[in-house]
Each structure stands twice: as structure tokens, then as C-alpha cells.
């Protein structure tokens, strides 16, 4: 941890460390939990008959985060599956379609709210809080 000469320097340093931890450790914890919830809430709930699943919704590359201020915003940007006859969800927000069950071009399996399940699981486990603490410690900040 660097030596700081003012409260403003200390606050700037702490905010930067928090943001770095949010972009790395906390986002990783959220990704891991969301992948679990996608498997449980989305994939395990039914078997599609119109298309083959790609199992992309739980991929790290499709779960992105952006830090605004000291807030981590996470979004699942999995693109629609263009396979099938007709293509099932082209030109749609796949995560929104899955979450709400509205927007399918064929039989809807209903809402599968994996985002709420992710938030509930994180709230129960505190994995995101522990990840933030780990990031702070890694940067040399003592956390109690």
C-alpha cells in the first residue's frame, strides 16, 4: 500500500482498489454463481426440441461486468441461437427472453429467472463480499 499524504489521496487509492477488485475477484465470483444458476434454473428445467443447446449462457465470456462509480453491473450478453428451423430467438435479447419467458418464436418453457436466483444465492453465501475482501487484502489493505 502506498504512502498517502492527504485524505483525498487515500480515498482515490481505496476507490481504485475497490474498482479493481470489483472488475476481477467480485466479477469472477458472480460469474461462477451465475453459471451454476444458469445450469440449474435454465438448462435443468426442460429439454428443447426445436434446437440444440450451445450451453453458452454460463460462459465467462458472455457474463460481462462494468464498474460505474463503485458499483459492479453484470450482464449476460449471450447472443441468440441462430440454429433450428425456424431460428428460435434471432434479433432478440436472449437473457431477457429466458428471464421472462416472453419472446420465443415457438413454445415458451416459461420464465426462468436465473438473474434473481444468482442474486439470492450470492446474498445467502456472501461469496461476492468475500471476493471483495480478498481483492482488498491482495492490494495490501487490512480487512477485519
So what's the pLDDT on residue 23? 97
Contact 143, 133 (CB under 8 A): yes
The sign of the CA dihedral 120, 66, 77, 59 is: negative
Q: What percent of the chain has pLDDT over 90?
A: 69
So what's the pLDDT on residue 85? 61
pLDDT 10s digits, 62-73: 999 999 999 999
Contact 80, 90 (CB under 8 A): yes
Q: How far apart are CA 33 and CA 30, in angstroms?
A: 5
Count of other CB atoms within 10 angstroms of residue 141:
15
Residue 67 has which C-alpha cell?
464498474
Kindly report the average pLDDT of the chain as a whole number. 91
pTM (two decimals): 0.89
- Residue 126: band (very low, low, confident or very high) from pLDDT cuts 50, 70, 90: very high
So what's the pLDDT on residue 97? 92
The helix (run of H) or strand (run of E) holding residue 73 is: strand 71-76
Closest among 6, 71, 73, 63 to 39, alpha carbons compared: 63
Is the peptide bond preceding residue 86 cis, with omega within 30 degrees of 0? Answer: yes
Amino acid at each position: 500500500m502506498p504512502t498517502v499524504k492527504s485524505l483525498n489521496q487515500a480515498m482515490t487509492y481505496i476507490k481504485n482498489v475497490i474498482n479493481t477488485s470489483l472488475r476481477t475477484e467480485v466479477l469472477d465470483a458472480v460469474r461462477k454463481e451465475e453459471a451454476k444458476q444458469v445450469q440449474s434454473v435454465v438448462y435443468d428445467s426442460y429439454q428443447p426440441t426445436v434446437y440444440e443447446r450451445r450451453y453458452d449462457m454460463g460462459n465467462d465470456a458472455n457474463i460481462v461486468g462494468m464498474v460505474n462509480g463503485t458499483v459492479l453491473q453484470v450482464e449476460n450478453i449471450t447472443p441468440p441461437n441462430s440454429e433450428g428451423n425456424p431460428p428460435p430467438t434471432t434479433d432478440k435479447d436472449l437473457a431477457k427472453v429466458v428471464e421472462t419467458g416472453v419472446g420465443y418464436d415457438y413454445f415458451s418453457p416459461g420464465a426462468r429467472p436465473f438473474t434473481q436466483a444468482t442474486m439470492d444465492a450470492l446474498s445467502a453465501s456472501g461469496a461476492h463480499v468475500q471476493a471483495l475482501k480478498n481483492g482488498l487484502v491482495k492490494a495490501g489493505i487490512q480487512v477485519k
